[in-house]
Amino acid sequence: MVKININGRDFEAEPCQTVLSVAQSAGIDIPTLCHTEAVADYGACRICLVEVERRGRKRLVTSCLYPVEEGIKVTTDSERVKKVRKTIIELLLARCPDSQAIREMAENMGVTESRFALEEKAETGSCILCGLCTRVCSEVVGASAISLVNRGTAREVALPFYDEASSCIACGSCAYICPTGAISLVDAGSKRIISWPNGTVDFQMKQCTRCGSHYAPVRQVEYMIESSGLSPTEFELCPDCRKLD
């Protein structure tokens, strides 16, 4: 076990843990937008910055990526940390002024408006480039249907060639995990409509042979059949009808 100190309190942690995971286990609040246990941490949003003192030297680190070390002292709410977090949230407000999640987090930090000019795409999207959608698609679903493309200020989330959704199984994991609502999913009768920052695609839904309801995307069902090795007949009924058998 490793002994660390967070905000004046001593804790024991496993060597494989991060500062963020130890703090969360102890009920210590560290704001974050791009952290989830579903995928590996990426440290994109930088909101989870904390101050770490190691061997007498203090520096700001990304808590979701920083591994615990024996004897380190962590401060999650120093004036330095608060100042940098406010600057980061102001930058995110300038990028995504209409995102409810960003606005709520900003208000919790005492920020009501950004001193920075709106970015060029601010009126058309809420993507903060956290990469959660691309990572869940790759690491959990295994489809790798969307990715981060380009570099620098041109960086964005997109389908291959901006219009090719052949790898997407329409599971909606990207929409469910997106922290800002930049990706949306709507089930409308026989269609599932998924909108990414740079594209919208309609997917056919599979119909239950008993009740006639459309219960899952055809591509997702085909993927499940292939990956599970089960017979296609196992997927003819919707979950509600299967419960009746």
Give the CATH number of the domain where residue 17 resides. Answer: 3.10.20.740
Q: What does the mean pLDDT of the chain come to? A: 93
Q: What confidence score (pLDDT) does residue 152 get?
A: 84
Query: Has residue 117 been placed in a domain?
Result: no
Q: Kindly state whether residues 140 and 42 are assigned to the same domain.
A: no
117-134 pLDDT, tens digit each = 887 665 557 899 999 999
Q: Kindly state whether residues 60 and 150 are assigned to the same domain.
A: no
Distance CA 207, CA 167 (A): 22
Nearest to 64 by CA among 30, 107, 89, 104: 30
Residues 186, 39, 93, 27, Cα dihedral to 10°: 110
Query: Has residue 238 been placed in a domain?
Result: yes
Query: Has residue 106 been placed in a domain?
Result: no
pLDDT at 28 over 70: yes
pLDDT at 191 over 90: yes
Higher per-residue confidence, 124 vs 1: 1
Query: Has residue 14 been placed in a domain?
Result: yes
Which of 30, 62, 77 terminates a domain? The answer is 77
Q: Kindly state whether residues 69 and 136 are assigned to the same domain.
A: no
Query: Has residue 26 been placed in a domain?
Result: yes
Query: Has residue 19 been placed in a domain?
Result: yes
Query: Has residue 45 been placed in a domain?
Result: yes
Q: Kindly state whether residues 143 and 62 are assigned to the same domain.
A: no
Q: What confidence score (pLDDT) does residue 124 get?
A: 52
Out of 55-69, 73-87, 90-104, pick the least confident. Answer: 90-104
Which of 77, 107, 122 terminates a domain? The answer is 77
Q: What confidence score (pLDDT) does residue 201 get?
A: 92
Q: What confidence score (pLDDT) does residue 125 get?
A: 72
Mean pLDDT of 212-232: 95
pLDDT at 214 over 90: yes
134-182 pLDDT, tens digit each = 999 999 999 999 999 888 878 889 888 777 788 999 999 999 999 999 9
CA angle 185/186/191 to nearest 5° reads 115
Query: Has residue 223 been placed in a domain?
Result: yes
The domain tally of the chain equals 2
Mean pLDDT of 212-239: 94
Q: What confidence score (pLDDT) does residue 245 get?
A: 77
Q: What confidence score (pLDDT) does residue 121 get?
A: 62
Distance CA 157, CA 195 (A): 11
Q: Kindly state whether residues 61 and 152 are assigned to the same domain.
A: no
Distance CA 113, CA 107 (A): 9
Q: Kindly state whether residues 71 and 139 are assigned to the same domain.
A: no
pLDDT at 34 over 90: yes
Domain that holds residue 36: 2-77
Which of 33, 54, 77 terminates a domain? The answer is 77
- pTM recorded for the entire structure: 0.87
Residue that the structure tokens 């560290």 belong to: 30
Mean pLDDT of 213-219: 96
